[in-house]
Amino acid sequence: MGRIFEKIINSSSGFFITGTGTDVGKTYFSAILLKYTKGLYFKPIQTGTSDITVVKEMTKLNENYFSEACYHFNDPVSPNIAAERENRVIEIDNINLPDSREHKLLIVEGAGGIYSPISDKHFMIDLIQKFSLPVVIVAEDILGTLNYTILTYKALIDIGCNVAFIVLNKYKPSGYNYRCLNEIINKPILRLPYYNNFPGADEIKGVINESI
């Protein structure tokens, strides 16, 4: 692969980080990418515990690398339900990208998967389409990943989104997901191994440079 991920990251001004579902590693990879690039992290819609706090703890970066959410709800549920419980409505027209000109890269993290509803009219995929950023799909290396990843990829491609690459989180060298996804989807796949603790700068550079 050479240093294809390094080249993709360095040639872009931003990415939208989505996932094949909830808890597959979107926030974790966003922290990896933030630590690697010293960019700007932005999660426009947050439900439950703040992912900004989680990413800060992992990366040890200060406030300058974070932009506040447009909507933050207390309950850790689907955005439309979280808003409903607080008698609020998420208006997609009111969600705009922050000014990231002082940063190398804008890292936008979605909530849930691409069809996570944000209102009775819109889904997360509509926000992805509005922002027009290259998309990174995060999937966990488990049973079912092939189906979830291919469905997500095809849905994004069908509406004209640019999928930059796929991240296979908690990569298992003995598994088959990496090989099969390479055969089915014509996109680079970043193998992100499991770490007991958040990786240091050298480990992150090694993953990005495919030296695992």
Residue ranges of the annotated binding site are 23-28, 47, 51, 109-112, 169-170
CA separation for the pair 140, 110 (Å, rounded) = 16
- Look at residues 97, 98, 104 and name the one whose alpha carbon lies nearest to residue 38: 104
Catalytic residue among 7, 35, 38, 43: 43
CA separation for the pair 186, 166 (Å, rounded) = 10
Q: Please provide residue 121's backbone torsions phi and psi, each rounded to the nearest 5 degrees.
A: -120, -25
State the burial class of residue 103 (Cβ atoms within 10 Å of its Cβ: 0-12, 13-18, 19+). buried
Binding-site entries for substrate: 47
Active site residue 43: yes
The secondary structure of residue 92, as a DSSP letter, is: G
Active site residues: 43
